[in-house]
Amino acid sequence: MTKPATISERIINTQPSAEHNLTDKTLIIFDWDGTLMDSIGLIVDSMHVAGEAHGFKTTDKAVKDIIGLSLMNGIKILYPQANDAQLIEIQQTYAEYYIANSHSTPLFEPIERMLQTLQQQGKTLAVATGKKRKGLDRVLDASDSHDYFTITRCADESGSKPDPQMLTDILEYTQQQVSNAAFIGDSIYDIQMATALGMTSIAVNYGTATSAELAEQNPTYQVDTPHALVDLLCG
């Protein structure tokens, strides 16, 4: 099995195989939570509040492990003993708490500069996220970042990760080939989704999954920090 190129604050491996050369990629697709936006802490807190409000408990690690899935799929995994009515109530409580506190979730510090640079380089940018459309539009508005992305796709419009339908939709809309694209994410579901299409993948170690968990998915690249992601993508 080929080991992923490892990127920390510097590029350690600069000789990827030709089909994974990032300078040739014209379509860059990002996950949102934990990849572009520093929102993992709020997601974890929101899920604890929602579960406990209806008599259920879970752990930080369990919540992080479901980030990337659609919200309802994640809630069902965390609280398998909940009935249908309780699942809906948990989802509603989660949404209310998250929205009320979403002012505390900025983009990671270098991300906006990276998006600007990639646009200037003529790259097409997109988002594929487990968020619902209403939730993504809300944070796009709050971060004033709508205009960076040619297309965004959400779990309630496509299949939930690791189903690659969101990526397929983006490829079709932009009329790009898989070989022209790279996908960046922080969960194992992100890497599994890209791998299902044979798409170049970049795993970021600063989000939900650990470096070891991501490495097991054999991403094309791994980066430790948002600054390292900027260095890798922007050169």
Give me the pLDDT at residue 165, please.
Answer: 96
pLDDT per residue as tens, the chain (235 positions): 445 555 444 343 445 577 889 999 999 999 999 999 998 999 999 999 999 999 999 999 999 999 888 899 999 999 999 999 999 999 999 999 998 988 778 899 999 999 999 999 999 999 999 998 999 999 999 899 999 999 999 999 988 899 999 999 999 999 999 999 999 999 999 999 999 999 999 999 999 999 999 999 999 999 999 999 999 999 7
Give me the pLDDT at residue 14, please.
Answer: 43
Give me the pLDDT at residue 159, please.
Answer: 86
203 and 182 housed in the same domain: yes
Instruction: State which H helix or E strand residue 5 sits in.
Output: strand 5-7
79 and 176 housed in the same domain: no
93 and 139 housed in the same domain: no
Distance between CA atoms of residues 233 and 138, nearest Å = 26
Residue 153 is part of which domain span? 5-38+107-234
113 and 197 housed in the same domain: yes
Query: pTM for this one?
Result: 0.87
30 and 130 housed in the same domain: yes
Distance between CA atoms of residues 160 and 166, nearest Å = 8
Identify the domain boundary among 104, 130, 148.
104
Check which CATH number belongs to the domain holding 123 and give it.
3.40.50.1000
152 and 220 housed in the same domain: yes
25 and 47 housed in the same domain: no
86 and 180 housed in the same domain: no
DSSP annotation of 146: G
131 and 219 housed in the same domain: yes
First to last CA, the chain: 27
Distance between CA atoms of residues 95 and 77, nearest Å = 17
Give me the pLDDT at residue 213, please.
Answer: 95
Distance between CA atoms of residues 90 and 84, nearest Å = 10
129 and 230 housed in the same domain: yes
29 and 78 housed in the same domain: no
Q: Which residues contact 150 (CB under 8 A, 6 or more apart)?
A: 124, 125, 126, 173, 174
132 and 224 housed in the same domain: yes
pLDDT in tens, 99-150: 898 877 889 999 999 999 999 999 999 999 999 899 999 999 989 999 999 9
Strand pairing category for 200-204 and 181-185:
parallel
Q: Decide if 184 contacts 31 (C-beta within 8 A).
A: yes
